């Protein structure tokens, strides 16, 4: 693990706040194994009824985009508003889209 040998590995915690919603990243914590990570996540992140389901993922398993690539990755979308489905004329019967 990337930590020093005296630290438990780091885990990312995802909580589903209620049935039907997706798991959302809420933070991270240290634990020696997945079981302990779930227990710790329960104690640290769901004490106030925040969740109905927990995922934990070893932080080292997550690959992230690099900030220095952000121009190449994200800027090209800036001037392509036509990618939003907002140019269709909807029939009057279809409300609340």
Partner 1 sequence: MNKSQHKQALLRLGDDALILGQRLGEWCGHAPALEEDIALTNIALDLIGQTQSYLSLAGSLHEDDTQTDDQLAFHRIERDFQNLLLVEQPNGDFGDTIVRQFLFDYYALFRAEHIASQVFDIDAAAIAAKAIKEIRYHADHSSKWVIRLGDGTDESHSRVQKSLNKLWKFTGEMFTVDEIDIVGAASGLLPDLDSIKTKWDSAINAVLKDATLKRPEDGWMQKGGRSGIHTESFGFLLAEMQSLPRAYPDATW
Residues near partner 1 (CB under 8 A): 8, 29-32, 35-36, 39-40, 42-44, 47
Q: Least Å distance between CB 88 and partner 1?
A: 50
Pick between residue 21 and residue 35 the one whose CB is nearest to partner 1: 35
**Which residues lie closer than 8 Å to 41 by C-beta, 6 or more apart?**
11, 13, 15, 29, 54, 56
15 or 29, CB closer to partner 1?
29
What spatial distance separates the first Cα and last Cα of the chain, rounded to whole Å?
47
State the minimum distance, in angstroms, from the CB of residue 49 to partner 1: 13
**Secondary structure of 39-82 in the HEC alphabet?**
HHHHHHHCCCCCCCEEEEEEHHHCCCCCHHHHHHHHHHHCCCHH
Comparing CB distances to partner 1, the nearer of 33 and 60 is 33
The least CB distance from residue 52 to partner 1, in Å, is 15
């Amino acid at each position: 693990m990337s930590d020093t040998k005296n630290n438990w590995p780091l885990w990312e915690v995802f909580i589903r706040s209620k049935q039907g919603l997706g798991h959302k990243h809420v933070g991270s914590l240290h634990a020696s194994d997945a079981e302990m990570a779930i227990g710790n996540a329960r104690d640290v992140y769901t004490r106030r009824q925040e969740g109905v389901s927990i995922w934990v993922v070893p932080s080292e398993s997550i690959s992230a985009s690099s900030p220095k690539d952000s121009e190449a990755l994200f800027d090209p979308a800036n001037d392509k508003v036509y990618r939003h489905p907002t140019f269709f004329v909807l029939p009057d019967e279809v409300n609340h889209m």
